[in-house]
Amino acid sequence: MTSQRLRNSPIPGTRDSYTGVDFNLGFHIRHYRLDLDYRVEPNRLAGTATLDMVNYLPLKQLTLDLGPSLKVGRITATGSGGVHVGLTRWRHARGKLLLTFDTEIPVDSEFTLSVTYAGSPRPVRSPWGTLGWEELENGSLVASQPCGAPSWFPCDDTPDEKARYDILVSADNPYAVICNGELVERRRSGSRTSWHYRTEHAMATYLATVQVGQYTEFDAADFDPRLSGPAPTAPPAPVPVSVFLPAGTAPAARVEFADQVEMLRLFTRLFGPYPFARYKVVVTEDSLEIPLEAQGLSIFGSNHIDGRKEQERLIAHELSHQWFGNSLGLAQWNDIWLNEGFACYAEWLWFEHSAGVPAAESARRHHRMLSRLPEDVLLADPGPKLMFDDRVYKRGALVVHALRCLIDDDDVFFAAIRRYTTANRHTVVEPIDLRTVMTAACAEVGVPVVELTALWNSWLHELPLPPFPEPRSGARSAA
């Protein structure tokens, strides 16, 4: 049994200072089973969510997050191992589902909640716009970062509470359903098809997704000229890569995703083994403002594939999130730079590899841009208004570059990154986890810890932009 949260528990009754949502305290959800029936044309969702739980506090009540567009019809509670769990009443209001039990559930009890609900799913409102389940012209998508998961299922919507999932969706033909994880079963019955996906590894709620559209699946290896023809010039993809496309987009997608497998090879070499069984890319018929991230999956709009490879950096960015953000999840949102800083630096590493543009050149260009902008973003705690500000992304990437320059040995630096991703694989991280591996790397090359401390404080905990970082002897290219 686990008796504590994955990170330090917040004070009971307080709320997430970034999302403004009250914490759900006292329990972990180990597994979600989501049995969903989706009608595309009226955008109607009916579902039963079965939550396998264990509590680390005695519980007379508990709360879950569930959006207001979904109406709860029935809830049942069942204890395991002889534990009595008697549900007396429940109330759904203001995005919270409050359950009250007849007696206090003892600590470390295992129990199951089953919630039946229905409605027309709508994105939830947030300081960053609407998030979650979004109806498209011809289907739907889910993009929930940071707090949109309650738009389609009852959950504990906080990034440090990962769980495994079975997602089962029945949808109208000829629509395809793509979700996180591996496809366990696809079964057609009359005018509808049921799709069952299962995640092997625990996942944060904001990364859970359902993509519904008229898609055709392609193997990204077929887009890669290095792998075509009778004599391939490159090794096969480290894991299968599938690209799901709407009609008429394949010619442009072949150009845009020609390097997808090569990116995967590069990042596997630099960051360690790809953390999931496969990688999926979905291109929607609709235009999207930005690409969207999910675990094991990335979503692009039709506007991102015009056949001119102008979105190459975004393709690299989204792929790198499978390590930084998906496998290595965030403990809290103020550490968003750990996700986005590494993802932006991965863009620079890709161009260092593919175009011979040193990451230092990309870093210098963005440092120059930051120097002309207001210096009012504290990287260690940017606040909800600025957490998705591009200055957080680019300054975070410059932290990674500064660490590379400080160590000044690419073999040692990238070995440290691989230790970071391996030691924290499929868990949650905080900045101290990265600092720990970098401290060991500095010791390996004889860099005094005081220099790492000075770098860390100036980039993360002070507002002024530090000078551009320079290696002591000129860093070698690892990409």
- CATH number of the domain within which 359 lies: 1.10.390.10
Which of 322, 345, 379 represents a domain boundary (last residue)?
322
CA distance 334 to 381: 5
Q: How many domains does one find in the chain?
A: 3
Q: Count CB-CB contacts under 10 A for residue 127.
A: 14
In a domain, 336, yes or no: yes
Given a cut of 50, the residues of the chain with pLDDT beneath it are 1-13, 475
R_g of the chain computed on alpha carbons = 23
Sheet order of strands, 59-65 included:
59-65, 96-105, 87-93
Residues 34 and 11: beta-carbon distance below 8 Å: no
- State the CATH number of the domain containing residue 60: 2.60.40.1730
SS3 2: coil
CA distance 477 to 387: 31
Q: What pLDDT is stored for residue 7 in this prediction?
A: 47
Residues 43 and 155 in one domain: yes
Residues 352 and 271 in one domain: no
Residues 220 and 243: beta-carbon distance below 8 Å: yes
Residues 220 and 367 in one domain: no
Residues 166 and 181 in one domain: yes
In a domain, 17, yes or no: no
Residues 31 and 111 in one domain: yes
In a domain, 436, yes or no: yes
Q: What pLDDT is stored for residue 4 in this prediction?
A: 37
Residues 266 and 350: beta-carbon distance below 8 Å: yes
Residues 190 and 228 in one domain: no
Residues 202 and 84 in one domain: yes
In a domain, 406, yes or no: yes
**Known binder of ligand: residue 182?**
no
Q: What pLDDT is stored for residue 227 in this prediction?
A: 87
Determine if residue 454 is left, alpha or beta; phi over 0 gives left, psi from -120 to 50 gives alpha, anything else beta. Answer: alpha
Q: Which of 49, 23, 34 is nearest to 198 (CA)?
A: 34
What is the per-residue pLDDT across 256-298, written as a single tens digit (0 to 9) for each? 999 999 999 999 999 999 999 999 999 999 999 999 999 999 9
- The three state secondary structure string of 352-383 is HHHCCCCHHHHHHHHHHHHHCCCCCCCCCCCC
CA distance 166 to 109: 22
Q: What pLDDT is stored for residue 3 in this prediction?
A: 34
What is the per-residue pLDDT across 69-97, written as a single tens digit (0 to 9) for each? 999 999 999 999 999 999 999 999 999 99
Q: So which residues are the catalytic ones?
A: 318, 393
Q: Which of 92, 83, 31, 94 is nearest to 59 (CA)?
A: 83
CA distance 224 to 213: 25
In a domain, 170, yes or no: yes
- State the CATH number of the domain containing residue 289: 3.30.2010.30
Which of 291, 307, 322 represents a domain boundary (last residue)?
322
Burial class (CB in 10 A: 0-12, 13-18, 19+), 55: buried
Q: What pLDDT is stored for residue 130 in this prediction?
A: 95
Residues 258 and 337 in one domain: no
Residues 196 and 222 in one domain: no
Residues 343 and 317: beta-carbon distance below 8 Å: yes
In a domain, 73, yes or no: yes
- Distances in whole angstroms, Cα of residue 53 to Cα of each of 1, 58, 220: 11, 13, 38
In a domain, 16, yes or no: no
Residues 41 and 110 in one domain: yes
Q: What pLDDT is stored for residue 474 in this prediction?
A: 55
Residues 209 and 296: beta-carbon distance below 8 Å: no
Q: Are strands 44-55 and 87-93 parallel, antiparallel or unpaired?
A: unpaired
Q: Hey, what are 85's tokens?
A: 């769990």
For residue 224, the enclosing domain spans 216-322
Q: Hey, what are 19's tokens?
A: 């999302």
Q: What pLDDT is stored for residue 113 in this prediction?
A: 98
Q: What pLDDT is stored for residue 11 in this prediction?
A: 44
The residues that bridge with 117 in the sheet, in sequence order, are: 47, 72
CA distance 477 to 479: 6
Burial class (CB in 10 A: 0-12, 13-18, 19+), 33: middle
Phi, psi at 310, each rounded to 5°: -80, -10
- Distances in whole angstroms, Cα of residue 345 to Cα of each of 144, 227, 257, 314, 393: 24, 27, 20, 12, 9
In a domain, 465, yes or no: no
Residues 393 and 460: beta-carbon distance below 8 Å: no
Residues 83 and 193 in one domain: yes
CA distance 305 to 449: 46
Sheet order of strands, 129-136 included:
124-126, 129-136, 139-143, 210-213, 176-179
Residues 195 and 158 in one domain: yes
**Known binder of ligand: residue 196?**
no
Which of 209, 235, 262 represents a domain boundary (last residue)?
209
**Known binder of ligand: residue 367?**
no
